[in-house]
A and B are shown apart, each in its own frame.
Chain A
């Protein structure tokens, strides 16, 4: 009995031992450890390192233990424009509430403020990254979370800058509620699968707000992509879902709200596209469902090239766009139904809130512009309106089958 009691007591104390094992290490000018390097060297798995307020010059610090690295208010890690700042090579590392700034710049390696290298279960939370080449770089990692970070770059040219949140060969990553601006690409994914990107704001980046390739099965929810150099471009990927995102103010000669190149079997729904030169540009994209989106004040709402097959466009609302739909082919293998078009002039005799005559969203002028882009200077010309009106009545050049046979009579009709 006594032995049993002893064992029981020991068992009870066991968590306490492990607790004692995980130490909280303070770093600061008045603490035992003056620099993060010393603290990391001293620490062991499970420890928590807290940086008190102050600036710590750090260059190429490798975190190879399972620790939590935290900053108190005003804790800044400064890379002094030399190299990478933090490289994480251990699983389950958490880095939070830190300000990191001034990474080096390199054209040989991808220098980052924080790099996760082949790890799992790491968390990057509420950090601020300023003036970095790459900001948060996740390489070959799994099950990590990147949340609440604020990344503010001051890139001036594409070739001298890196991406905000960069994922390379990752899986199951959650990227939520981050704010990225002033980088080359805001959020970049390559060979990264099954991840969720939600609630982020990516604006004012030099190239793309969001850019991915070969990254299947990802979900993009409630993000805002605003005023990026060339908008959002996504390529060579299957099975993606985009919903509740806002694509705004991607306005420029070569700018797209959402450029889809070779995107297959995907869903794009309930997004809002406003003031983009081309809201959605589709090239080689098959079986994409575009539904319930709102297109307003764009140059082209939908540019859908002839090499897109089996896409369906339903229940969207198109208003105040210069061109609703444009294409470069005289055939059509895509499906349009039940959209609201503000340019529709049909009638609804049976009062089912769907128009009784088909609407052909491709205008003759948009075909001309597709062939001779310079002709766009004639936008708004009386002649153009005349030609379009004539073509609407008797379609000769525009694709006969590209029509919405049951367009909605008003925007709110469902």
Chain B
């Protein structure tokens, strides 16, 4: 398996994709940090990149890579290796290369400009999102053989997490405005990995004071050990379940 990871890893590093990815993130983050006078504003902009751009790029990168290396995978499968090893090799090398790109592109500038704990937080959040959405990318590309269709579904899934979910939540809030919504808001914002990231960062940025009554229950929840572990647990579930399903499908797939 280590050998397989090495092969995939080398393959990804050789393609210019990951370099473009890193440089692009670096330009974004350096630009944002350099041009915004305010630390909070810079962090918010970077948070937007981490929350929206990173998942989208992870998915597109993951699936394009999978579709393009179909023949290589088929060739590998003729060798005496376990299918799971091939899957894991691909999954981890995709996620790890992106993680390195992300750390070099966003976390390093943050550390250089001395953002302290917040940069560690962004790093953790970004890493989780990379692993989660790489899993989704592989799952969808394994299930859907047609490249165009696959990427279409991917973008829909991204929209679902990044935009539609919030839209549905907002609609529900509006519709059920006359009911107590404290618990509902907590549940709503822990179910979506993108929302967990955002909420946690917002609480770190002290915007929580604006949350009113909701904020009190929110701070209590996310500030408590239980809330922290539940959030971590949900993030892990989002990371493990799609990847597991993808592996199972990959093992049974008829190439």
The interface-forming segment of A62-70, A119-127, A372-380 is: A372-380
Instruction: Determine whether A277 belongs to the interface, using a CB cutoff of 8 Å to chain B.
Output: yes
Given contacts A320-B41, A372-B181, A375-B174, is CB(A253)–CB(B166) below 8 Å? no
Partner of A378 from the list B166, B181, B218 (CB cut-off 8 Å) is B166
- Name the A residues within 8 Å of B218 (CB-CB): 377
Cα of A376 to Cα of B203 in the assembled complex, Å = 12
- Name the A residues within 8 Å of B44 (CB-CB): 380
Instruction: Determine whether A300 belongs to the interface, using a CB cutoff of 8 Å to chain B.
Output: yes
Partner of A374 from the list B40, B41, B185 (CB cut-off 8 Å) is B185
Instruction: Determine whether A383 belongs to the interface, using a CB cutoff of 8 Å to chain B.
Output: yes
Chain A contact residue count (CB 8 A cutoff): 27
Q: Which of B163, B182, B199, B211 lies at the interface centre, i.e. has the most chain A CB atoms within 10 A of its CB?
A: B211
Cβ–Cβ contact A383 & B207, under 8 A: no
Instruction: Determine whether A368 belongs to the interface, using a CB cutoff of 8 Å to chain B.
Output: yes
Of all chain A residues, the one with the shortest Cβ separation from B168 is A383
Chain B contact residue count (CB 8 A cutoff): 40
Cβ–Cβ contact B214 & A377, under 8 A: yes
Interface of B is mostly: helix
- Name the B residues within 8 Å of A297 (CB-CB): 40
Instruction: Determine whether B210 belongs to the interface, using a CB cutoff of 8 Å to chain A.
Output: yes
Cβ–Cβ contact A253 & B216, under 8 A: yes
* B 221-243 binary contact with A (CB < 8 Å = 1; else 0): 00000000000000000000000
Q: Chain A nearest CB: distance from B147 CB in Å?
A: 26
Cβ–Cβ contact B209 & A252, under 8 A: yes
Cβ–Cβ contact B209 & A253, under 8 A: yes
Instruction: Determine whether B48 belongs to the interface, using a CB cutoff of 8 Å to chain A.
Output: yes
- Name the B residues within 8 Å of A382 (CB-CB): 48, 51-52, 162-163, 166
* A 277-297 binary contact with B (CB < 8 Å = 1; else 0): 100000000000000000001
Of all chain A residues, the one with the shortest Cβ separation from B38 is A320
Interface on A for B, CB 8 Å cutoff?
251-255, 277, 297, 299-300, 320, 322, 368, 371-384, 386
Q: State the 7 A-B residue pairs at the shortest beta-carbon distance, nearest first.
A: A299-B210, A383-B166, A374-B181, A372-B177, A381-B166, A372-B173, A374-B214
Query: Known pairs A253-B215, A379-B207. 10 more at Cβ < 8 A?
Result: A322-B210, A371-B177, A372-B177, A373-B212, A373-B213, A376-B210, A379-B210, A381-B166, A383-B162, A386-B163
